[in-house]
């Protein structure tokens, strides 16, 4: 059996919820910074080669383990989606599966992994500059490294220190596996946070349908002061989490109110769609080909959330 190399960073079953009913099995892809609207099928959307692959303990590339684990979770969550679409009451087990899906939708996407990579590189560079700015401490650290590892650096210590002090002379690259590990390490905590929230499922209108993208789970605190030193997190008491589930239904989660199903109005759908477009790194996909959507997408280039490093 051929190994799985094409990995969906957004589940295929989820993407299928945004198919154009007039052009099955296709949906419409909008890309930030490019004016062309492209038609594609769900199997070819939100896919990257070896996105979830990693090197095992023998140094061999494993392209199956994570992909298969995600596929198992997605199979269980797909049945919960069907219950939501039928407006059924969710059991505790249903809620647990759905909460884990929300945690994955937050951490499995390129925007999250890119943010982790940027944060890691920034921290390493700051640590390098701090260490190199203290001559005696730097020399001592290098000598301890050489003594403890048996490895000798191939340049004079002072030359290395001066090199590190000039941050324009080098670029730090992070291992993609680190962002995968970070995503997995936070899943249990994030799942519990989402499980504890109040969930409302909003139905779209005849006039407006929900769209999605490559970073569809978005959280926002309407009371947050953008000038504040503190950022926005899921535990903020006024946080609002949105995730379109299909062209007809979207999740609105918060710490306020109560869990329910309700019929949305045009303003609700347009507001959630705007948030979804803002959150997207590159791609927005929808069941409708629309110049109006495309204009909004092109106004939101480089609007995806960024993690701040102090």
Residue 209, domain member (yes or no): yes
Same domain, 179 and 262: no
Tell me the three state secondary structure of residue 219. strand
DSSP 66: H
* CA gap 29, 212 in Å, rounded: 10
pLDDT at 310: 47
Q: Which of 158, 177, 196 corresponds to the end of one domain?
A: 196
Lowest mean pLDDT among 55-69, 84-98, 143-157, 274-288: 55-69
pLDDT at 227: 66
Lowest mean pLDDT among 7-21, 42-56, 251-265, 289-303: 42-56
169 pLDDT exceeds 80? yes
Residue 1, domain member (yes or no): no
Residues near 60 by Cβ (< 8 Å), separated by ≥ 6?
none
Average pLDDT over residues 207-211: 98
pLDDT at 290: 97
Same domain, 189 and 216: no
Question: Three-state SS across 181-218?
Answer: HHHHHCHHHHHHHHHHCEEEEEECCCCCCCCEECCCCE
Q: Assign residue 217 a region (left: φ > 0; alpha: ψ between -120 and 50; beta: otherwise).
A: beta
Average pLDDT over residues 92-112: 95
Residue 2, domain member (yes or no): no
Task: Report the Cα 64 to chain-centroid distance in Å.
Answer: 21
Q: Which of 178, 196, 214 corresponds to the end of one domain?
A: 196
1 pLDDT exceeds 60? no
Buried b (16+ CB within 10 A) or exposed e, 178-213: ebbebbeebeeebbebbbebebbbbbbbeebbbbbb
Residue-wise pLDDT for 128-156, tens only, equals: 899 889 999 999 999 999 999 999 888 99
> Residue 192's closest CA among 95, 116, 74?
95
Residue 6, domain member (yes or no): no
Lowest mean pLDDT among 115-129, 173-187, 260-274: 173-187
4 pLDDT exceeds 80? no
pLDDT at 242: 98
Residue 280, domain member (yes or no): yes
Residue 230, domain member (yes or no): yes
225 pLDDT exceeds 50? yes
Mark out the alpha helices in 108-251 (DSSP H runs): 110-132, 135-149, 157-165, 176-185, 187-196
Same domain, 115 and 127: yes
- Report whether 17 contacts 245 (CB < 8 A): yes
Residue 267, domain member (yes or no): yes
- Report whether 18 contacts 285 (CB < 8 A): yes
Tell me the three state secondary structure of residue 15. helix
> Residue 48's closest CA among 106, 108, 115?
108
pLDDT at 201: 98
Same domain, 203 and 239: yes
Average pLDDT over residues 154-181: 84
Residue-wise pLDDT for 17-62, tens only, equals: 999 999 999 999 999 999 999 999 999 999 988 888 888 888 888 8
Same domain, 202 and 271: yes
260 pLDDT exceeds 90? yes
pLDDT at 103: 96
Structural domain containing residue 304: 22-47+197-310
Residues near 108 by Cβ (< 8 Å), separated by ≥ 6?
9, 10, 70, 183
Q: Which of 157, 174, 196 corresponds to the end of one domain?
A: 196
Same domain, 240 and 283: yes
Give the tokens for residue 169: 């002379």
Same domain, 190 and 255: no
pLDDT at 172: 81
Same domain, 101 and 187: yes
111: number of Cβ within 10 Å: 21
- pTM reported for the whole predicted model: 0.86
Q: How many residues does the chain have?
A: 310
Average pLDDT over residues 188-201: 97
Same domain, 276 and 259: yes
Same domain, 89 and 178: yes
Residues near 271 by Cβ (< 8 Å), separated by ≥ 6?
none
183 pLDDT exceeds 80? no
Task: Specify the number of domains making up the chain.
Answer: 2
Dihedral, 288, 291, 295, 298 alpha carbons, nearest 10: 70
Average pLDDT over residues 60-89: 92
Residue 120, domain member (yes or no): yes
pLDDT at 91: 97
Same domain, 72 and 164: yes
Same domain, 140 and 220: no
80 pLDDT exceeds 70? yes
pLDDT at 100: 96
Average pLDDT over residues 274-297: 97
């Amino acid at each position: 059996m051929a190994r799985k190399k094409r990995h969906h960073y957004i589940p295929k079953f989820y993407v299928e919820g945004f198919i154009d009913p007039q052009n099955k099995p296709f949906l419409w892809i909008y890309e930030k910074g490019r004016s062309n609207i492209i038609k594609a099928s769900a199997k070819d959307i939100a896919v990257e080669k070896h996105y979830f692959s990693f090197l095992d303990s023998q140094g061999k590339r494993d392209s199956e383990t994570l992909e298969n684990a995600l596929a198992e979770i997605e199979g269980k969550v797909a049945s919960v989606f069907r219950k939501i679409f039928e407006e059924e009451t969710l059991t505790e087990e249903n809620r647990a599966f759905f909460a884990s899906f929300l945690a994955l939708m937050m951490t499995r996407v390129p925007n999250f992994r890119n943010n982790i990579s940027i944060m890691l590189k920034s921290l390493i560079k700051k640590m390098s500059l701090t260490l190199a700015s203290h001559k005696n401490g730097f020399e001592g650290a290098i000598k301890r490294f050489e003594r403890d590892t048996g490895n000798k650096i191939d340049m004079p210590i002072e030359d290395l220190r001066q090199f590190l002090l000039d941050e324009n002379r080098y670029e730090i690259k992070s291992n993609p596996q680190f962002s995968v590990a970070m995503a997995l390490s936070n899943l249990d905590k994030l799942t519990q946070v989402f499980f504890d929230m109040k969930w409302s499922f909003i139905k779209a209108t005849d006039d407006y349908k929900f769209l999605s993208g490559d970073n569809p789970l978005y959280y926002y605190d309407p009371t947050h002061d953008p000038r504040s030193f503190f950022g926005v997190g899921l535990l903020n008491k006024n946080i609002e989490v949105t995730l379109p589930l299909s062209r007809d239904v979207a999740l609105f989660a918060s710490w306020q109110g109560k869990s329910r199903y309700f019929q949305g109005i045009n303003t609700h759908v347009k507001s959630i769609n705007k948030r979804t477009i803002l959150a997207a790194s590159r791609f927005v996909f929808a069941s409708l080909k629309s110049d109006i959507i495309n204009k909004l997408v092109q106004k939101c280039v480089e609007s995806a959330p960024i993690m701040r490093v102090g």
